[in-house]
Amino acid sequence: MSEWLLFGQALLNGILKSGLYALAATGMALAFGVVRILNLAHGDFLMLAAYFAIFLFSRFGCDPLAAIPVAFLLFFALGAVLYRGTIKPVLRAGELNQLLLTFGLSVLIQNLALIFFGGNVKTIFVSYKTITISLGGLSFGAGRLLTFLLAVVLLLALYLVLQRTRFGRAIRAVSQDPEGAALIGIAPEKINLYAFGLATGFAAVGGMMLSVILYAEPLIGLGFTMKSLAVVVVAGLGNIYGVFWASLLLGVAESLVSTFVPEGTGWAEAIFFLLIFFALIFKPRGVREA
Amino acid sequence: MKAKPKGILVKSALLFVLLAAVFFPFLSGEYYLHVAIQALMFAVLALSWDMAARAELVSFAHAGFFGLGAYVSALSFLKLGLPLPLCFLAAVLVAAGAALVLGYLTLPLTGIHFAIATLAFTQTLQVVALRLPGLTGGAMGITVPSLFGGARLFSYFLIFALLLVLTGISLYLERSPFRLAFTAMRTSERVAAVLGVNVVRYRLLVFLVSAIFAALAGAFYVHYTSTTIPYEAFSLHIGVASLVMPVFGGLYSTAGPLLGAVVLYGEEEFLRTAISYGYMVVYGLILIVVILFMPQGILGVMRRWNFWK
Amino acid sequence: MEFLEVRGLKKTFDGVVAVADLHFTVQKGEILAIIGPNGAGKSTTFNLLSGLFPPDAGEIRFAGREIAGAKPHERCLLGIGRTFQVCQPFQELSVLENVATAYLFGRHPRPSLVRAREGAAEVLARVGLAAKLNLFPAQLTAPDLKMLELARALATGPRLLLLDEVMAGLLPQECIRVMNLVREIREEGVTVILVEHVMKVVRELAERVIVMDYGQKIAEGTYAEIAADPRVITAYLGQGEGTENAG
């Protein structure tokens, strides 16, 4: 394969990969931007949804793609319950408590998964998993293409909802100024509940696709939490609109490194961490008056 | 307040604990000695984490410093052939350097932002340890001879001495102007600075001391257990333990992290044999329950019940 | 030589000019008031003087020393003390410890913890909080919190005291008490700059008044002089109507 073809293939891989990252990170950005909570358990919802997909497939032969609406609703409800029971009580309790709480959720979910699902990798074989599409010397898996397209469609839908609907305006109002929103008759509590539900719902969609293109494993969530963090930090904490571009950037960067750097597959991970680190430190941040 | 009787009660309780700790290894069997050594090691880690937290540094870097200490010390022994005390010293120096660089770079960050940046630091170190197999043994890890030729009694007193020194430092910080400076910085670094507190110096100083002891715990760990791998030395388990223990025992104190470490490590050891991963489930649950219902940890509950009266 | 001399001070936030080319001087032992409509740049000026933000341009000479590049705690040690408009007490410390922190790290030569507590208690007695030493900030009323804020600034042992709306929200008799306290402090040789919205306080307390609008000084003089200045009247009347910059 020529250098250029290799480059094109790496680029394509990166772009398609970013679909899953965008699905994962959108929820984290929603929770941070609206509810103002950094959910360190976010990736673990993806993991749970992936196991859910595998359960549905192996038990009922239900295709993960077809089950996406069910999973979305189920995880929306799970998110709402978790919000009421755990997140809401710490919203006023300071950042340390919030961080430790979601960290505790993450540790709990991961290790319950280890106990109930076992430490082994679980995969499913849907009919389209092995389909590979070739185009002018480039090739890619149908599952990845589907994931990317789904991410594009869902993000567009989310943007439209945020921009064009009453509900979307209410979400944006709360995200910009919760107290101001309360003054003009929006109930921030209710919006927070929906936003957190949406966040876990998006994670569920990501998890269903994860089961199709990769596999499920109890600790896989941590990786997605870190990757979502990287996307969210690069996009600007809480900026929902920047998520797509940041995902694209990270997906492509990861893919290029793993293709062109010797033994790059492992080092690519480090890129995420370094990006998180330097994006945090060097991003000019607004200064608030005393 | 009846300050005097309370003081005597606390002092005699402390004396009892100290004496029990000194005589314990002569009375206990090998297994319980092993458990005690690990508990003391986690106590060092937990107390060092709490010290940084007092100045509002919610650190996920402590697993990083722990792993760094373990690897630097083990590699100094294996690759440079240094005697053990110098290996520990090397671990201290490298961790100190890393803490100063990390601390300096993260000066503009507080709260969540600092936490995320330090999490990224630890994860990066883990990737490095995994991806340099020529130096670190990669995923296979490293093996060194057992500390004191496997004589647990000496290991016990080494980690006990380390914990005593750290406890001394922590008590000093609690009773000196540092406590006021740290508590002020925890509320607002800006206000503290306007009142004359040299925020940058105190922040770097406490992070430095904290990192050094986390690294010493790591160095002790690798020589005591005589082996480690990146997934263990830089693991989530270490990161979780370092912060759950102080949170559970009672934040921003000397007694809290020590109490939390002993109780939780006991729980961990007990559950480890009963249900695998069970102890981590309990860690997760404890974090959630403590944050939601007893934000001041065990110490807070004891205070509420007037335990010392 | 001037005690405080500000020349060409400038600060913008994301392109929005908060302070633009500000010049003024303060004499030793003077009480100066800075007034102006909301958003005129008064609080930003205080933040620049106390070192919380670096200025984009300009010089600040304090007691013969250039301090524009100095850090906040260095300026505190040189003798600049300040209060915050929004009270920011250390919630986890008692009232006494709040003030002792300032005493300990302020200009007093390395006091012991015991000495710092004594010093703090003296300052708290002056502001009328002697009975509340062992309370926590959450247990204080709003006026008491204002006094705690003032006590903390005083406990650093300032030579120049920046008071950011300390009178706001106080009852008239409390206001009089604080005004007397400020005069007393000045008699001890402390120079005072106050940002104030209560005009009665400005009139009675300040020897000189600076009026700011759009980040610049638009008038300066005694209270009577600036009260008669047409530019000042325009600035206040034009507030919120998007009129042109009077300066």
pLDDT, tens only, C38-88: 888 999 999 999 999 999 999 999 999 999 999 999 999 999 999 999 999
Would the CB atoms of C73 and B187 count as touching at under 8 Å?
no
pLDDT of residue B4: 52
Low-confidence residues of chain B: pLDDT under 50: 1-3
Q: Which of C30, C47, C84 is nearest to C210 (CA)?
A: C30
Rounded Cα distance, A73 and A63, in Å: 17
Q: Which chains touch A (3 or more CB pairs under 8 A)?
A: B, C
pLDDT of residue C166: 92
pLDDT digits (tens, 9 = 90+) for A38-93: 899 999 999 999 999 999 998 888 888 888 999 999 999 999 999 999 998 888 87
Rounded Cα distance, C121 and C105, in Å: 16
Closest B-chain CA to C107: B196
Rounded to the nearest angstrom, the minimum Cα separation between B1 and chain C is 13
C136: which residues sit within 8 A by CB, 6+ positions away? C91, C92, C93, C94, C95
Rounded to the nearest angstrom, the minimum Cα separation between C89 and chain A is 13
On whether the CB atoms of residues C195 and C163 are closer than 8 A, the answer is yes
pLDDT of residue A237: 73
pLDDT of residue C240: 43
Would the CB atoms of B193 and C92 count as touching at under 8 Å?
no
pLDDT digits (tens, 9 = 90+) for A108-139: 999 999 999 888 888 888 777 778 888 777 88
For chain B, say whether A266 makes contact (Cβ under 8 Å).
yes
Helix orientation angle between B3-27 and B30-54, rounded to the nearest 10 degrees: 140
pLDDT of residue B146: 87
For chain B, say whether C104 makes contact (Cβ under 8 Å).
yes
- pLDDT of A94 > 50? The answer is yes
- pLDDT of A289 > 60? The answer is no
Rounded Cα distance, B281 and B240, in Å: 11
Rounded Cα distance, A192 and A174, in Å: 8
On whether the CB atoms of residues C39 and C242 are closer than 8 A, the answer is no
Which chain C residues have a beta carbon less than 8 Å from that of A289?
43-44, 47
- pLDDT of C244 > 50? The answer is no
What is this model's ipTM?
Answer: 0.91
Residues A90-106, mean pLDDT to the nearest whole number = 86
pLDDT digits (tens, 9 = 90+) for C176-226: 999 999 999 999 999 999 999 888 899 999 999 999 998 999 999 999 999
pLDDT of residue C235: 79
Q: Which chains touch B (3 or more CB pairs under 8 A)?
A: A, C
Rounded to the nearest angstrom, the minimum Cα separation between B3 and chain A is 32
**Average pLDDT over all residues of chain C:** 91
Query: Which DSSP state fits C25?
Result: E
Residues C92-112, mean pLDDT to the nearest whole number = 94
Rounded Cα distance, B48 and A71, in Å: 43
pLDDT of residue B280: 86
On whether the CB atoms of residues A58 and A124 are closer than 8 A, the answer is yes
- pLDDT of C243 > 60? The answer is no
Q: Which of A203, A201, A182 is nearest to A20 (CA)?
A: A203
Rounded Cα distance, C56 and C12, in Å: 7
pLDDT of residue A264: 67
**Average pLDDT over all residues of chain A:** 85
pLDDT of residue C73: 96
pTM of the model: 0.89
> What percent of chain C stands above pLDDT 70?
95
- Residues of chain A numbered 78-107 and touching chain B (CB < 8 Å): 86, 89-90, 93, 95-101, 103-107
Residues C148-168, mean pLDDT to the nearest whole number = 95
- pLDDT of C238 > 60? The answer is no
